[in-house]
Chain A
Amino acid sequence: MVFLGPGLLLLFLFVIFPAVQTLFLSFQNKDGFAGLTNFVNLFRDEAIWNPARFPTKVPPWGALLHNLVWVCIHLPLTVGLGLVLAVVFAKAPRWVGFARSALFLGIVTPMIVGGVIIRYLFEAHSGIIPQILGALGVPKPWSSGWMAYPETALLGLILGSIWLWVGFSMILHSAGLSSIDPELFEAAQIDGASEWAQFWYITVPLLRPVTIVVAVLTLFWELKIFDIVYVATMGGPGRASTVLALEMYFAGFRALDPYRASAIATLITVVSVPLGYWFAVRRLRA
C-alpha cells in the first residue's frame, strides 16, 4: 500500500476527481441542480444530433452521428489494412522496410501536424487528391478543396486520418505475427493450403487478441477525435465535420459554458464505455 499510495494519489487527483467533477457539473446549470436538462438540450441541438438529414442529405448530421460515421469507416479500414500490411511486409523483401517506416510515420506525427497535412492534401490548388481527381475528370466538389465543401469535409478527414493511424495497427499486428509459431504455416504448406487459407485459418484466428486490442484502442481514438478536426476544418463548413470533442471544446472555451461542455464529455464517456466493454471483455471471452 505504501508503494501504491503515491500512484493512487496522483490517479485520484488527476483522473478520478476531475471525472467526478465533470459528471457533477453535467447535472448542473448556473442556477444549481438541473437534472437531465443539459442532456435533453444536447439531443435537441442539431449541432449534436441531427438524424433527420442522415443519410439522404449532405452533412451536417450532428457531432454524435459524425463520430459514429467515423467509427464505421475508419475502424474497419485501419484495423483491416493494418493486418493486411503486417502480413504483406512480413513476407516482403527487406527493402520494403522503407515503405513500412513511411506508414509508421503517421503514428509518430503529432496529430496537429497531421491535421495540417490533411488540410493541404485535400486543398484545391496544392492538394494531390483533388488534382488527381480533377485530371481524371471527376466533377466538383471531389476535384476541389475537400475541406471547403460539406459533402467532402468529413470523408476527407476520415480518409486522411487512416494514414495517421494505420501504422499503429500495422505495428501491433506485426508484433503479433512474430509470436505465431512458423511450424503452423509449414505444416499447412505441406498439407497444400493456399496463401489465402493460411491467412484466413491460421493468421487471422491467432492474431484475434491483438486485433481486438487494436480495435478497442482505435475505437476510443475515434470517439475522442479532436485535434485533426480542429486544425483542418474547425468542424465546418456549417458544422459538416464537427465531432463531439470539438463541440465540447467550443462549449467550454468559446461559449464559456462548463455545464454543456461537461454534459458532452459525459456523453462521450457514456458512448465509449459500453462499446469498449463489449469489445474488450465479451469478445475476448468469446
Chain B
Amino acid sequence: MRGWMLVLVGLIGFSAFCAESLVVIGPWSGAEAEPFLAVLKAFTEKTGVPVEYRVMRAEDIATVFPAQFAAGLTPGDLVFGWGWWIKEFAGHMVDLSSEIAGIPFVTEPIIVEGKAVGVPYVTWVKPGFWYRKSFFAAHNLQAPTNWTDFISLLERIETIPGVEKAAASGDGVGWPLSDMTEHFLLTFGGLDLFMGLIEGKVKWESPEVRAIFENYLLPFLGHASEPIEWTAALDMWWDGKYGIYFMGNWITGMVEDPNDLGVFTLPGCKAVVGGTDYMFIPKYSKRVEDARKLLAFLISKEGVALRVSKGGKLSMRADVGPENYPPAEAALAQAVGALTIAPDMDDTIGGDWQRAFWDQLKLLWVKPEALDDVLRILDQLHPAAKG
C-alpha cells in the first residue's frame, strides 16, 4: 500500500513538473513588470493554470512573429503588441468578441472585419514633465503657468549646484523623445493639427508645424540633456542631476517614493497623449482556451482593479474608477480628467515611419540645426506620401 502511495505521489509530482505553462509575452521588465506579475500570480492561484512571463519588446515581436506565423507557430499564447501591427497580421489571431462583450472599454478594442483581434489592457497617459516635490520645495520652484514661466523655471533649475541640465531626455529606441515632441505639438498646435499630422493631411514642413519646433521645442532643447538611456536618465533625475523628466504615468511604479512625484503639462495644454497596450491570442497557440481564460481575467473588474492598485497604469474600464488607484495615480487621474486624450502618434502610424521618427528626433536633440532635414524626411516617409 505504501509503495502504491509513493508511486501516486511521484506521478502527481512528475505531472506537475511536466505541466506546461501558459506563455505570456509582454514588453515590461524589472520594476515595470512587477505589478503585472502580481496579476498573473493571482490568476494562477485562482485557476491553477501556471503562467510563464517572457519579456519581448514590441519591436522584437514585430520581427519574430511573422516568420513564426508563416510556419503556423507562435512563441507565446497571449501576447502584447502594437495596435498597427496587430491590424496588419489580424488574420493570424483569435477572434475575442465573446470575451469583450459587454465590457465598458474606455479605449476601443481592435476590430478587423468584424473580429475583435486586439484587446486593450489598462491605459497610460503621458501627462507632462515630472518633478520631485521635495526637490522643487527645497529650491523654491513652482510649476509654470505660461511659456515664459516655463523657460524661467528651466533657467533657475540650471543654476542649482549639481544640476547638469534642467530636463533629462530619455532614450532607448527613441520613444521618450517622440513623447515629448508630441506633447509640444498638442500644446502649441492643438488636437486638429496633431490628428492631421497622423493622417498625413498636415505636412511636417508646413509653416505652422515648423513654427512649433522653431519657437518652442528648439528653445527647450537648449535646456535638455542629450538622449540618455531612459531608465538611467530616470535614476539621474531622481538623484537631482536633472530637475524635470518627461515620461508616461508608468513612472509612478518605477520610483522609490511615488508620493514625492509631481507633474505639470506645458502651460496651455488641452490634450495629452494616452493609449493602451493591446493583447492578442495567436490562433496557432495550443492553449487557446486557457489563454482566453487568462485574457478574460486580465480584463475583468477584479483583474483590472488589482493591476491599477499596483500603480503605473490607469483603468481601461469605465466601471473601475480612481477609488482603486494608489494616491499618486488618483491625483494624476484627477489632473488629466479635464484634458482630451489623443492617440499616440508614432504607435498609430507605425511601420518604418515610427522608427524614422524616433531616429530623426535623436538627431534633432543633438543637432537642432538639422530641423529642415528632419521635417523633410518625416514628410517623405509618411505612409500618406508613399501612397
Contact count A vs B, C-beta below 8 Å: 72
Cβ contact of A234, chosen from B228, B359, B367, B377, cutoff 8 A = B359
11 further interface pairs, Cβ-Cβ under 8 Å (given A234-B174, A236-B174, A250-B355) = A141-B366, A150-B366, A234-B358, A236-B363, A237-B362, A237-B365, A238-B362, A240-B363, A249-B63, A254-B355, A256-B66
Q: What sequence of 0s and 1s flags, for each residue 373-384 of chain B, a beta carbon within 8 Å of any chain A beta carbon?
A: 110010000000
Q: Is A239 an interface residue (CB 8 A)?
A: yes
B359–A238 CB distance below 8 A: yes
Q: A236-B362, A237-B359, A240-B363 are in contact. Are A144 and B226 (CB under 8 A)?
A: yes
B366–A149 CB distance below 8 A: yes
A253–B63 CB distance below 8 A: yes
A124 to chain B, nearest CB (A): 6
B88–A256 CB distance below 8 A: yes
Bound-state CA distance A32–B355 (Å) is 28
A238–B228 CB distance below 8 A: no
Q: What sequence of 0s and 1s flags, for each residue 245-262 of chain A, a beta carbon within 8 Å of any chain B beta carbon?
A: 000011101111000000
Residues in A whose Cβ lies below 8 Å from that of B62: 253-254
The residue among B236, B351, B352, B370 with the most chain A CB atoms within 10 A of its own CB is B352
Residues in B whose Cβ lies below 8 Å from that of A156: none
Q: How large is the interface on A (under 10, 10 to 19, 20 to 34, 35 or more residues)?
A: 20 to 34
Q: A235-B359, A238-B374 are in contact. Are A254 and B352 (CB under 8 A)?
A: yes
With both beta carbons as reference points, the residue of chain B lying nearest to A120 in the complex is identified as B229
The residue among A123, A251, A255 with the most chain B CB atoms within 10 A of its own CB is A255
Q: Is A208 an interface residue (CB 8 A)?
A: no
Residues in B whose Cβ lies below 8 Å from that of A141: 366
Q: Is B360 an interface residue (CB 8 A)?
A: yes
Chain B contacts to A: CB under 8 angstroms? 62-63, 66, 88, 171, 173-174, 226-229, 232, 236, 351-352, 354-355, 358-360, 362-367, 370, 373-374, 377
A256–B359 CB distance below 8 A: no
Q: A148-B227, A234-B173, A234-B359 are in contact. Are A253 and B66 (CB under 8 A)?
A: yes
Bound-state CA distance A124–B173 (Å) is 17
Bound-state CA distance A148–B363 (Å) is 8
A-B contact pairs, 26 of them (CB 8 A): A123-B228, A124-B228, A126-B232, A141-B366, A148-B226, A148-B365, A148-B366, A149-B366, A149-B367, A150-B366, A235-B359, A236-B359, A237-B362, A237-B363, A237-B366, A238-B362, A238-B374, A239-B359, A250-B352, A250-B355, A253-B62, A253-B66, A254-B352, A254-B354, A256-B66, A256-B88
Bound-state CA distance A249–B351 (Å) is 12
Chain A contacts to B: CB under 8 angstroms? 123-126, 141, 144-145, 148-150, 234-240, 249-251, 253-256
The residue among A234, A235, A236 with the most chain B CB atoms within 10 A of its own CB is A236
Bound-state CA distance A141–B229 (Å) is 17
With both beta carbons as reference points, the residue of chain A lying nearest to B363 in the complex is identified as A238
Bound-state CA distance A240–B370 (Å) is 12
With both beta carbons as reference points, the residue of chain A lying nearest to B88 in the complex is identified as A256
A124–B373 CB distance below 8 A: no
Bound-state CA distance A43–B288 (Å) is 46
Residues in A whose Cβ lies below 8 Å from that of B366: 141, 148-150, 237
B66–A148 CB distance below 8 A: no
Residues in A whose Cβ lies below 8 Å from that of B374: 238
Residues in B whose Cβ lies below 8 Å from that of A148: 171, 226-227, 362, 365-366
Residues in A whose Cβ lies below 8 Å from that of B367: 149-150, 237-238
With both beta carbons as reference points, the residue of chain B lying nearest to A234 in the complex is identified as B173
Residues in B whose Cβ lies below 8 Å from that of A144: 226
Closest 5 CB pairs of A and B: A238-B363, A237-B362, A255-B352, A237-B363, A236-B359
A262 to chain B, nearest CB (A): 15
Q: A148-B227, A253-B62 are in contact. Are A238 and B370 (CB under 8 A)?
A: yes
A238–B355 CB distance below 8 A: no
A42 to chain B, nearest CB (A): 15
A188 to chain B, nearest CB (A): 54
B339 to chain A, nearest CB (A): 31
Bound-state CA distance A148–B366 (Å) is 7
With both beta carbons as reference points, the residue of chain B lying nearest to A258 in the complex is identified as B66
B235 to chain A, nearest CB (A): 10
A176 to chain B, nearest CB (A): 40
Bound-state CA distance A235–B356 (Å) is 10
The residue among A144, A235, A254 with the most chain B CB atoms within 10 A of its own CB is A254
B351–A255 CB distance below 8 A: yes
Q: A234-B174, A256-B88 are in contact. Are A125 and B236 (CB under 8 A)?
A: yes
B363–A150 CB distance below 8 A: yes
B75 to chain A, nearest CB (A): 15
A124–B351 CB distance below 8 A: no
Q: A234-B173, A236-B359, A237-B363 are in contact. Are A145 and B228 (CB under 8 A)?
A: yes
A254–B351 CB distance below 8 A: yes
